[in-house]
Structure formats: structure tokens, C-alpha cells
Structure 1
Amino acid sequence: MFSLFFMLVLALVLLVPAIWGVRCLPSEKYQMLAAFPVQHLENGSWKGMNLTWYGLLSASAYVLGTALGLVLLRASGAPLWACALTAMVLLCVCVPASRWIARIVEGKRHTFTVGGASFLGILLAPWVLVSVNMLITRYGYPPFSAVSALAAMALAHTCGEGMGRLACLSFGCCYGKPLRRLSPAMARFFEPMAMIFHGKTKKISYAHQLDGEPVLPVQALTLFIHIFLCLAGLGLFLGGKPLWALFLCLGGTQIWRVLSEFLRADYRGKQAFSAYQIMALSTLPYLFLCLKIPVFSENMAFVPDLKAGLTLLWTPGVLAGLFLLWILTFFYTGRSTVTGSELRFFVHGDRI
């Protein structure tokens, strides 16, 4: 009963902002969150630095996914410091990699790629977990189930990447093809759910001039598919079937990434089959090979302790760490380098 209540609460936490975001975020007013002056100009105004909803939503998605991962890792039997160490290592690599990999694949310095960061995280996660497991046994702690820990990380990834699509809706990136370029049958099918973005500073506008035009709702589809996979995988995990949860989450998210790339209109490289699709497909055989490692093939009994996992969230150090993660991620992803602003300040004479 407690597990069911937790799943219902999580469903609300995911679905309420998802439904709001699909309805509101494509509008122009939900791209820029704030602007502050950074340089005085000769005309008396100020050059501004824009802070975006993309950064706020990305930071929130990172924190939500990390928090879920910490809860499930602790529920798998990992001690608190091992949970924190695992999360810190993966985040320190994957967050900067979202920009590095985009620069390598797309040749752009001022963009991010969730797909590239996810790929690197999937490659590293098994080895980070094995190393942490070896470390805790060295200090006298009992080993935790490596498969359940890997499933916990897969669930965290599914949750975080799904909710991160709200950021894409805000910035107008990762957008789908316009309906007019589809076959008549596909256009009729997607017309009721088509999305229309507004604003000349959204990527869909300055990259392809598709603002104001109905396009495939790729971000929304990705968002709700990830939410479904996360909740279904969580049910399997809490039911004592972490291996099934692992296959469902990683298999579902990576297969959908391959399929969804065919529906997108934004630039993904010059190849017909993009580098991100190759990355996604390669993770599945890689996962099977990792599961052949003895530490993952051990059939350890797994009974998740969800209450222990949730207790972890009330630890002051964990709360402070999640808050710091939000701040750092917000300023890393939220400072827009592709848009600018000019600010002018004045006094209301009638209010003196």
C-alpha cells in the first residue's frame, strides 16, 4: 500500500507540470525568465544577460531525477554516502558532457544535447556502480544488488530526461516536422495534437522559421512516453523485479529515441541516421554485455526498502546537495548565449 501511494504521488508530481507545460510553454512568454544588466552601452541602455525557462526546467528535471535515483539506490541497500558518491560522479560527467558532445556531433558551441549526455551516463553507470560496491565492501558494508542499483539509475534517467522535455518546449528546440511536410494520412492523425510555437527568439523560429505553424508534437510525445515508462518501471522495481524495470526503461527510452529522431526537423547532423540514433542503439547490446559481468549476474535477493529511501531525502546534507545541484545546473543551462537583450531604466516622474 505504501508503494502504491508513493507511485500515485510521483504520478501527480510528473503529470501536473507535464499537462501544464504542453499547454503553456510553446507560447512566447515562457522562454525568457529574467534578464539582468551586465554592461553599460553608449546609448544609455544596458546590455542584458538572459536567464531562461529552459534553465529553470532543466535544473528541476535534473534534481527530480537525481532525487528519485537517490531514493531507489538507498532502497536497494546502498549506504547514504555511496548513493551520494554515485550521483555526484555521474552528474559531474554528464552535465558538462551535454554541451561537449553537442559541440563534437553538431559543431555548435552554444547548444546542449540530452541524448549525448544520456549515452555517456549509460556507458559509465555500470562501472561507477561496480566501483562503489567494491569500495563499500572494503569498508565493511554489505554489498548491494548491482542490478537493482542499475535499475534505479535507469529509472532516474527516464524520469529526468522525460521532464527535461519541458525545457525543450520552452526554448522551442528538439521540434518535430511541420504537418505540411507529412503524408495526408499522418497529417490528419497528428493534427489534433499538433503544437504551435510562438516567438522569434525560439529555436524553431530562427533555425527553420516554423513559428506559428503546426508541427509534430515530438517533445510532448517524448515527455508522456517517459512518464509512462518511469511509472511502469517503478512498479516493477518496487515489486522486486529490478531486471525487468531496467530493460523496460532503458529499452523503451532508447528505442523511442531512435524512432523519434525520424519525426524531428531540427538539425541532428548531416547523416540520414544520426549519431544520436547510433548512440541509442548501441546502448542495448552494451547493456547485455554488462549484465554478463559476474557482479551483475549474481542472483541476489532483492526486497526494496522504500521507507529507508524516502528517509534519505530528509537528510540535511542531501537536501543541501540537491539545492546546490539546482543552482549550479540552472546557471549552467539557463544563461542564454544565443539570445541577447537591451535594458533601459527610468524613473516614473508622476510617482516622485
Structure 2
Amino acid sequence: MSLTLFIIVLAIIIFAVLGWGFMTLPKERWQMVAALPLRKSGKGEWKGLNLTWYGLLSANAYTFGVAIAIVLAASAQVPIPALVLITLLLLGVTIPSSKIIARIVEKKKGTLTVGGAVFAGAVTAPWLIAMVNQTLGNTYGFYVPVAVMMACVSIAYTFGESLGRLACLSFGCCYGKPLCQCSSRTQKIFSRFNVVFTGKTKKVAYASGLDGEKMIPIQIITAVIYAVAGLFGTWLFLDGMAGLALMETMLVTQVWRVVSEFYRADYRGDSKFSMYQIMALAAIAYIAIMLVIFPETREAVIVLDTGLN
């Protein structure tokens, strides 16, 4: 498959899914996907476990991101066992970090943070890849270029975060400011392009009482920006510019992370410039330094058909 055709097909799939999500998921009926009966009470009522669209959509986003990482890594001749090991090591860092960092920053036990997980992953990923090279790589005779693998991970994260915003639309979290609290200029910009959440069980309702309000569609904007960044990063990567693909996706996602928080209404900490914004800027600088520390002395051979087979 040609590079252009691959990007076009990828774009059609992503924007078709995003378009469906933008139109449907803010509605009340799109929060719970199913309920599992657990036990029956004496009055004939059942107590059950709700399964949310948030969980399903998040899982789909993660799966899509991993699939993209596998295709890109395989295209760059990265051994699949090495990719699996690096992925597991990264998950071992980022999953607990998302809870620990959220608890430190937001002072809440039941909260997770993608921003914190990304920062933890960005800090540890280069060293985890280097460790795999020095251990299994030396033993079994393979080498995973740090910039190439980091680019795969960054592009996968960008796509996963884009599709993951659909989960936020369903649950009513990570929401923008209500237009009634914005300047007249902002109200004019978003007078037609806004989002309205319905349903008292959505976070926007029980945390801020903003259900039914016209709000800045920050989740939608983020999803589109990240989708475009992911597509461009994929094109750069498959065209042999892994380092540039890494910096492009990191710059777009983390700079937008900083900017978007000024337009969000959910709690992100007590300071005007949140810890998540600081971590986003630090991650950009850190990755730039890592590209200097881990210069690629071996040119990766990238063949898309290898990744798709």
C-alpha cells in the first residue's frame, strides 16, 4: 500500500468515528452501554454494575493506539517481542503514575490523569528502550533505535488521545468553560460551534452543575487537532523522518495541552498555571534533550508493507 493511500484511509476511519461521536455522545443515553445484574433485593429490584461508554471508548482508543504502534514499529523492522516488552514496561510505569500524579495534584483518590501518565512515560521511555537494547538486544542480536521507538509511541499516543476524547464526551469530563462565563468575543466564536451535555450522572452535571449549558467544545477541538497531528506524524515517520515525527507530535499535543487548559472549567488544581501544564512543557524540553543524548547512529529502514503484513 502506498503511503498516501494509507494516510487517506486512516484519516477517513478516524474522522468518521469522531464525527459520529461529536453528534451523539454528549447526550444522556450515551453514558451507560450496559448493566450487569449482581443481586436481587427483597423487593424484586436488582442491583447491578453499570458498564459505561467511557470504558468502552477508552479501551477502543488504547487498542487503536497500540495497533498503530505495532504497524509503525514493524515497518521500521523493530522485533515484535521487543515492542511487546517495551509496551509492557511503559504500561507498568504510566498506569500507576496516572493515579499517583492525579492524587498528588488534584488531592482526589478516585481520579486518573492522562497528562501525568504522558509525562511519566516521556521521562522513562528512552531509558526503558535503552535498557532493552542493552539486555535482550545484546543477547538476541537486535537494536531498537530510541528515536524510532519513541516516535512510534508518541504517534500512537496522539491517535489514542484523539479517539479517547470521545470517552470524555460520553462521561462529560474534561469539559470546556460555559459560554455564559466567557468574553463576548469567545461567545461569538462558539455561538454555533459548541457542545451541550445532558444527563445528571455526567461529571459536568454533578461536579459543576453545567448540564444543559452551551460550552466550549474543548474535547472536540482536542480530538481534531490530535488526529491531524497524528496523521502528519505518521506521514513523517513512514517517510523516514522519525525524529521529526516524534517532535511534531510532542510539540502539538503538549503545547495544546497547555493552551487548552485555559479554556477548561473542570478542576485542574488550585493555581492558574496548573502542574499539568508545567509537565507538558517539561516533556517537550526533555524529549528534545533525549534526542541529543540518544543520537541515532543507525538509519532505520522503514517499509510500510512490512508493518501491514
Paired with 1:303 and 1:3, the residues of 2 have a C-alpha distance of 15
Greater CA deviation, 110-119 or 220-229?
Answer: 110-119
Paired with 1:160 and 1:9, the residues of 2 have a C-alpha distance of 17
The CA deviation at 1:263 is 0.3
Q: Deviation per CA, 1:264-306: give whole Å up to 9, x if none.
A: 000111111111111111101111221222xx21342233122
Paired with 1:128 and 1:9, the residues of 2 have a C-alpha distance of 33
User: Residue in 2 aligned with 1:305?
Assistant: 303
Paired with 1:20 and 1:81, the residues of 2 have a C-alpha distance of 36
Cα gap change, 1:93 to 1:38, in 2 (>3 Å): farther
Paired with 1:142 and 1:123, the residues of 2 have a C-alpha distance of 23
When the two structures are superposed, what TM-score results if normalisation uses the length of structure 1? 0.84
Moved over 6 A (4+): none
2:35 counterpart SS class:
strand
User: Residue in 2 aligned with 1:158?
Assistant: 158
What's the C-alpha RMSD, in Å, of the aligned pairs?
1.5
Paired with 2:67 and 2:104, the residues of 1 have a C-alpha distance of 30
User: Residue in 2 aligned with 1:143?
Assistant: 143
* Residue ranges of structure 1 left out of the alignment (5+ in a row): 312-352
User: Residue in 2 aligned with 1:224?
Assistant: 224
User: Residue in 2 aligned with 1:195?
Assistant: 195
1:33 counterpart SS class:
strand
Q: Deviation per CA, 1:222-241: give whole Å up to 9, x if none.
A: 00000000001111111111
Q: Highest CA radius of gyration, 1 or 2?
A: 1
User: Residue in 2 aligned with 1:129?
Assistant: 129
User: Residue in 1 aligned with 2:206?
Assistant: 206
Q: Deviation per CA, 1:172-231: give whole Å up to 9, x if none.
A: 000000001111111101112110000000000111111111000000000000000000
The CA deviation at 1:2 is 1.7
The CA deviation at 1:136 is 4.0
User: Residue in 2 aligned with 1:183?
Assistant: 183
Paired with 1:36 and 1:99, the residues of 2 have a C-alpha distance of 26
Q: Deviation per CA, 1:21-60: give whole Å up to 9, x if none.
A: 0110000010011112224334331222111000000000
1:12 counterpart SS class:
helix
User: Residue in 1 aligned with 2:119?
Assistant: 119
CA contact (8 A) 1:32 1:51 kept: yes
Q: Does residue 72 in structure 1 map to residue 72 in structure 2?
A: yes
2:190 counterpart SS class:
helix
Paired with 2:164 and 2:79, the residues of 1 have a C-alpha distance of 28
User: Residues 77-116 of structure 1: matches in 2 within 5 Å?
Assistant: 77-116=77-116
Which has the bigger relative contact order, CA under 8 A and spacing at least 6?
1
CA contact (8 A) 2:158 2:230 kept: yes
Paired with 2:76 and 2:212, the residues of 1 have a C-alpha distance of 48
* Residue ranges of structure 2 left out of the alignment (5+ in a row): none
User: Residue in 2 aligned with 1:342?
Assistant: none
Paired with 2:306 and 2:231, the residues of 1 have a C-alpha distance of 20
The CA deviation at 1:111 is 2.6
User: Residue in 2 aligned with 1:249?
Assistant: 249
| 1:209 counterpart letter in structure 2 | G
Paired with 1:91 and 1:163, the residues of 2 have a C-alpha distance of 19
User: Residues 264-343 of structure 1: matches in 2 within 5 Å?
Assistant: 264-293=264-293, 296-311=294-309
| 1:108 counterpart letter in structure 2 | K
The CA deviation at 1:141 is 2.3
Paired with 1:221 and 1:145, the residues of 2 have a C-alpha distance of 33
CA contact (8 A) 2:116 2:276 kept: yes
2:211 counterpart SS class:
coil
User: Residue in 1 aligned with 2:63?
Assistant: 63
Paired with 1:225 and 1:217, the residues of 2 have a C-alpha distance of 12
Q: Deviation per CA, 1:328-349: give whole Å up to 9, x if none.
A: xxxxxxxxxxxxxxxxxxxxxx
User: Residue in 2 aligned with 1:49?
Assistant: 49
CA contact (8 A) 1:177 1:264 kept: yes
| 2:189 counterpart letter in structure 1 | F
User: Residue in 2 aligned with 1:40?
Assistant: 40
User: Residue in 1 aligned with 2:27?
Assistant: 27
When the two structures are superposed, what TM-score results if normalisation uses the length of structure 2? 0.95
The CA deviation at 1:96 is 3.7
Cα gap change, 1:104 to 1:43, in 2 (>3 Å): farther
Greater CA deviation, 128-137 or 68-77?
Answer: 128-137
Greater CA deviation, 124-133 or 206-215?
Answer: 124-133
